[in-house]
Structure 1
Amino acid sequence: MISDLAGLIDLVPLPAIPAVLLALFFIAAELGFRYHRRFGGEGGAEDESQVLSTALLVLALLLGFTFSMALSRYDERRQLVVQEANDIGTAWLRAGLVAAPHGPALQNALADYARIRVTSPLPHETEKLARAAALRNRVWAITATAQATLDGPRATNLVSAVNAVLDTGTQREKAVAARVPGEVMLLLVIFACVACFLLGYMLDAHGHQHRFASGILFLLMGLTIMLILDLDRPADGAILVDQSAMEALVASLAPAGG
């Protein structure tokens, strides 16, 4: 049930996130207005303000922690692009030291692999993931044959370089698939709605609803959550991982791979 509700967040396009959240926050605040008018307690407005301050503080902590989580995952994806490009380039150069036919064959296999790795496959791209796995098996099979023709140090260097390529490829696929848990995002949205409800409740206790000022606050909250989702989604949105390192590598390997 909770997982199904959390999955609904991914169905909302990023540009629509602020508008959807703004509507939810206004509804929650309006419910707070009406609830206080009908069931307003005997406590003073000062007591209600303290409850609201506590709720907003916890919301700020949740926003900060979730933003930090999404940013760290984005940064990991970015670093792995550069690392994979470096690893493939190193393995390609070391394969050039292997005599024909194994050296050129390994270089061609690495060039083919680099082309499919320009963008790391997403979890739902099963065909692309299977192709990448097949190319990794091909690269390793050629390496196993090629290292038998080399002396100890050169064989070790070649195997180490190719092994780094395979390991980084797997790490990058896992990093792309890793997302901020949907349950965390759902809790964040729910808690933001609760804070808006309390804000409406407290403002009505003071006798002023301040819808314009509240709207600005709600919009900023919606934009912040949209930014978190933008960082967390690897394939869409305005904040995408720079793939230029892999693109430059593919361009440099094209003559050898052709």
Structure 2
Amino acid sequence: MISDLAGLLDRVPLAAVPAVLAVLFFIVSELGYRLHQRFGGGGSADDETQVLSAALLLLALLLGFTFSMALGRYDERRQLVVQEANDIGTAWLRAGLVPAPHGPALQQALADYAQIRQTSPLPNETQKLAAAARLRDRVWAITATAQSVLDGPRAASLVSAVNSVIDTGTTREKSVAARVPGEVIMLLVIFACVACFLLGYVLAAHGQRHRLVSSVLFALMSLTVMLILDLDRPADGAIRVDQSALRELAQQLANTARSAQQ
């Protein structure tokens, strides 16, 4: 049930998330206000305020926990772009130490691989993922042949560099697919709705709506959830992983290849 709701939230465009959540928070707050007016008991408003404070504190902890998860995944994706660029560059340099024809062939294969790795491959880009897998197989096949003509230390160095390229490539693909569990996001939204309901309930106990202040709170909560989703969705929103390290490497290898042909 919760996973189905999480899938439904994924279908909402990121730009519309704050508006949708703000309206939802306002509705449940009004529901809490009206429920207290109709069925509210004679309890102390101060006691109800303490319950609201505890709920808001737990919501803040859950927001911080979820934000930390999303930020950690974003930072991992960013670091893997730089790591893959470094690994491909190192393997390309070591391939230059291999005699022809294996060395130039390996360098060309690595340059082709860098070209298609200039953007992070999304899980639904099956053709791009398949092309990357084929190029990794091609790179490894050339490496297996090339290492046989090298001495022990140079062969080990080349194999280690190419192995790092392959490992980092697959790790990067998995990191793009890894997201904050949908159950956590939905739990966050549900808990926020409960907190807004309690807010309306407590405001009714005090006899004041404070709609302006409440609306500001709802907007801040909605924007925070949107920020978490923006960090968690690699293909949507304004927060994107910087791909410049791989773009610059691909351009550099292409320029080197053109210079060598002239």
Partners of 1:2 and 1:51 lie apart in 2 by 26
Instruction: Establish whether residue 103 from structure 1 lines up as the match of residue 115 from structure 2.
Output: no
C-alpha displacement of 1:15: 1.0
Partners of 1:52 and 1:15 lie apart in 2 by 29
Provide the residue aligned with 1:131 in structure 2: 131
Deviations 1:68-117 (A, max 9, x none): 00001000000000000000000000001111110011001101111111
Q: How many residues are treated as equivalent by the alignment?
A: 258
Instruction: State the superposition RMSD in angstroms.
Output: 0.8
Provide the residue aligned with 2:37 in structure 1: 37
Provide the residue aligned with 2:8 in structure 1: 8
Q: TM-score scaled by structure 2?
A: 0.97
Partners of 1:10 and 1:99 lie apart in 2 by 52
Give the secondary structure class of the aligned counterpart of 2:162.
helix
Partners of 1:52 and 1:182 lie apart in 2 by 26
Moved over 6 A (4+): none
Provide the residue aligned with 2:232 in structure 1: 232
Provide the residue aligned with 1:75 in structure 2: 75
Partners of 1:133 and 1:88 lie apart in 2 by 15
Give the secondary structure class of the aligned counterpart of 1:97.
coil
Instruction: Establish whether residue 88 from structure 1 lines up as the match of residue 85 from structure 2.
Output: no
Deviations 1:198-250 (A, max 9, x none): 00000000000101100000000000000000011111111100001001100
Partners of 1:148 and 1:107 lie apart in 2 by 17
Provide the residue aligned with 1:208 in structure 2: 208
C-alpha displacement of 1:22: 0.5
Contact between 1:112 and 1:257, CA under 8 Å: does it hold in 2?
Answer: no
Superposed, which structure 2 residues align to 1:136-151 within 5 Å? 136-151=136-151
Q: TM-score scaled by structure 1?
A: 0.98
C-alpha displacement of 1:255: 3.1
Deviations 1:152-190 (A, max 9, x none): 000000000000000000110111000000110001001
Instruction: Establish whether residue 243 from structure 1 lines up as the match of residue 243 from structure 2.
Output: yes
Deviations 1:98-155 (A, max 9, x none): 1111001100110111111111211111111111111100000000000000000000
Name stretches of at least 5 consecutive residues in structure 2 with no aligned partner. none
Provide the residue aligned with 1:193 in structure 2: 193
Give the secondary structure class of the aligned counterpart of 2:173.
helix
Give the secondary structure class of the aligned counterpart of 1:224.
helix
Partners of 2:130 and 2:5 lie apart in 1 by 30
Provide the residue aligned with 2:177 in structure 1: 177
Partners of 1:220 and 1:230 lie apart in 2 by 15
Instruction: Establish whether residue 21 from structure 1 lines up as the match of residue 21 from structure 2.
Output: yes
C-alpha displacement of 1:2: 2.0
Give the secondary structure class of the aligned counterpart of 2:149.
coil
C-alpha displacement of 1:41: 1.7
Partners of 1:128 and 1:33 lie apart in 2 by 53
C-alpha displacement of 1:257: 4.8
C-alpha displacement of 1:251: 0.6
Partners of 2:201 and 2:62 lie apart in 1 by 22
